[in-house]
Amino acid sequence: MLFSSISFLYYFLPCVLTIYFITPTKYKNSILLLSSLLFYFYGEPIYILVMLGAIVSAYIHGILIQKYPKYNKIFLLSSISISLIALSLFKYSDFFIESINDILNTNMKPLNLVLPIGISFYTFQILSYVIDVYKGNVKAQKSLINLATYIALFPQLIAGPIVRYIDIEKELTKRKHSYKTFSEGISRFCIGISKKVLIANALGELCQYFLQTNNKSVIFYWIYGVAFSLQIYFDFSAYSDMAIGLGKIFGFHFLENFNYPYISKSITEFWRRWHISLGAWFKDYVYIPLGGNRVSKKKLVRNILIVWMLTGLWHGANWTFVLWGVLFGILLIIEKLFLKQLLEKIPKLFQHIYVLWVIIISFIIFNANSVKEAIVQIIGLFGGNGEPIINQETLYYLKNYFVILIIAGFGATPFLKNIMTKLKEKIKIKKIINVLQPVILASLLLLVTAYLVDSSYNPFLYFRF
């Protein structure tokens, strides 16, 4: 069930909110858990057993790690192994089999297992929980219902952000509900769903037209690169907005996951602003345990490459994702060693151009079905495939999507946010904005509803992760 669907907006969510807020406090987690399981069952009726098994495993291992400190490392390794084996089986088994077939010229049959929705996200949440219990950062959760609520919580279950147990431990048992947080949550959710339906979906259509046409041009390759880079940002950041908004409605405060990454002046800065929860997870649970940057240059290079190869693989079982991750790893190494100091000496405009150029190339690799396809598309950016610089089809799509590209471009920067902040500094204008805001949000929700009813194109890119 997508957040950006009629069934969620007008059936599931209103019913859950009604039942949740009339339920006594001590039963609210039970209602959230049942709602989350129903939400997951709607999309994954069979694989809900995999998630339930993962929850029970995390619960048992957490208690054992805390109760038997003499053997806690054994229990930690057991929990990590179970989680990673399940993730590898469903997500990477066919990738490894096909790679072995290609390398050794064997003929092993793929398992063709369907990837459980959200398994990458809830697996990482479980791993962070048992590791933090092992380190003594948190106490093991004694209530299975509370732990299951944390892992299965539907606002962030299928596509994050990756919420760590330590960040919402207190709110699982003692959280406050208020009109202010409820209204802030509704506002954030409405903004998120508007970004998803009105901008990301439109950009996705443009990308689909490019991929399907045989009448490409050099300009069209660049339009596609820009459009997809904006689409994946609006698609994923919109989902994070909706998740954070829903979290606030239910009394949880999830950490921010995006901070205008396209205004970055280096790739290092970009990854501090993009998918913040994933970057922080790899930093705390992989990079630092490997030694971080307090090691020799040789080991530093090793640590960064390991983290970014894993980051690429986390996103998907394809060599394009591995290449994508390694590309960023190499760039981050180069920046850390010397490039970042050089970038700081040139005008900011050229720093931004460098980042955006790298991002466009990287996301073309990210979205390709194969490395060969990615190479063809990158060569196309520079006219290497023999296509014309521009043609009538390119002009047609540019004309039809020019406005949405401009809106998306401005929307990916804090330009509008900064204007609103300055306007709110004036008391009279702030009062007007406060009156108009509910009207604007309601209008956006009506427009979103109209689009959802009228259009069948409503994908979500991060479902495959």
pTM as predicted: 0.93
Q: Is 80 exceeded by the pLDDT of residue 451?
A: yes
Reported as a pLDDT band with limits 50, 70 and 90, residue 275 is very high
CB atoms within 10 A of CB 428: 7
CA distances from residue 156 to 241, 303, 315 in whole angstroms, order as listed: 10, 29, 17
Q: Are residues 91 and 23 in the same domain?
A: yes
- Tens of pLDDT, residues 21-43: 999 999 999 999 999 999 999 88
- ∠ CA 356-278-173, nearest 5°, is 140
Query: Is 368 a member of any domain?
Result: yes
Q: Which two tokens stand for residue 406?
A: 């401009």
| Backbone φ, ψ for residue 140 (5° rounding) | -60, 140
What's the pLDDT at 417?
Answer: 87
DSSP structural state of residue 433 = H
> Contact, 150 vs 125, CB < 8 A?
yes
Q: Is 60 exceeded by the pLDDT of residue 131?
A: yes
DSSP structural state of residue 11 = I
Q: Are residues 189 and 284 in the same domain?
A: yes
* Residue that finishes a domain, picked among 124, 158, 175: 175
What's the pLDDT at 422?
Answer: 87
Q: Which two tokens stand for residue 148?
A: 């299951």
- Tens of pLDDT, residues 309-355: 999 999 988 999 999 999 999 999 999 988 888 888 899 999 999 99
Q: Are residues 191 and 159 in the same domain?
A: no
Total residues found in the chain within this entry: 465
Query: Is 116 a member of any domain?
Result: yes
> Contact, 389 vs 219, CB < 8 A?
yes
Total structural domains within the chain = 2
Query: Is 50 a member of any domain?
Result: yes
Q: How far apart (Å, rounded) are the C-alpha atoms in residues 189 and 162?
A: 18
DSSP structural state of residue 458 = -
Q: Are residues 246 and 352 in the same domain?
A: yes
Amino acid at 23: T
What's the pLDDT at 312?
Answer: 94
Q: Are residues 185 and 143 in the same domain?
A: no
Q: Is 60 exceeded by the pLDDT of residue 155?
A: yes
Q: Is 80 exceeded by the pLDDT of residue 285?
A: yes
Reported as a pLDDT band with limits 50, 70 and 90, residue 463 is low
Q: Are residues 170 and 253 in the same domain?
A: no
* Residue that finishes a domain, picked among 159, 175, 191: 175
> Contact, 62 vs 132, CB < 8 A?
no
Query: Is 231 a member of any domain?
Result: yes
Q: Are residues 170 and 317 in the same domain?
A: no
Please tell me the least confidently modeled range out of 101-115, 163-177, 235-249.
Answer: 101-115
Query: Is 98 a member of any domain?
Result: yes
Reported as a pLDDT band with limits 50, 70 and 90, residue 434 is confident
Q: Are residues 117 and 194 in the same domain?
A: no
Q: Are residues 311 and 260 in the same domain?
A: yes
What's the pLDDT at 423?
Answer: 83
With left for phi above 0 and alpha for psi between -120 and 50, is residue 292 left, alpha or beta? left
Quote the percentage of the chain above a pLDDT of 70: 98
> Contact, 124 vs 115, CB < 8 A?
no
Q: How far apart (Å, rounded) are the C-alpha atoms in residues 444 and 261?
A: 25
| Backbone φ, ψ for residue 406 (5° rounding) | -65, -45
Cα-to-chain-centroid distance, residue 308: 16
> Contact, 452 vs 4, CB < 8 A?
yes
Reported as a pLDDT band with limits 50, 70 and 90, residue 102 is confident
- Tens of pLDDT, residues 366-376: 999 999 999 99
> Contact, 37 vs 144, CB < 8 A?
no
What is the average pLDDT value for the chain, to the nearest integer? 93
Q: Is 253 a catalytic residue?
A: no
What's the pLDDT at 459?
Answer: 65
Q: Which two tokens stand for residue 135?
A: 């380190």
Active-site entry in 61, 253, 315, 352? 315
> Contact, 220 vs 397, CB < 8 A?
yes
Range of the domain at 368: 181-464
What's the pLDDT at 4?
Answer: 86
- Tens of pLDDT, residues 221-264: 999 999 999 999 999 999 999 999 999 999 999 999 999 999 99
Q: How far apart (Å, rounded) are the C-alpha atoms in residues 325 and 322?
A: 5
Query: Is 207 a member of any domain?
Result: yes
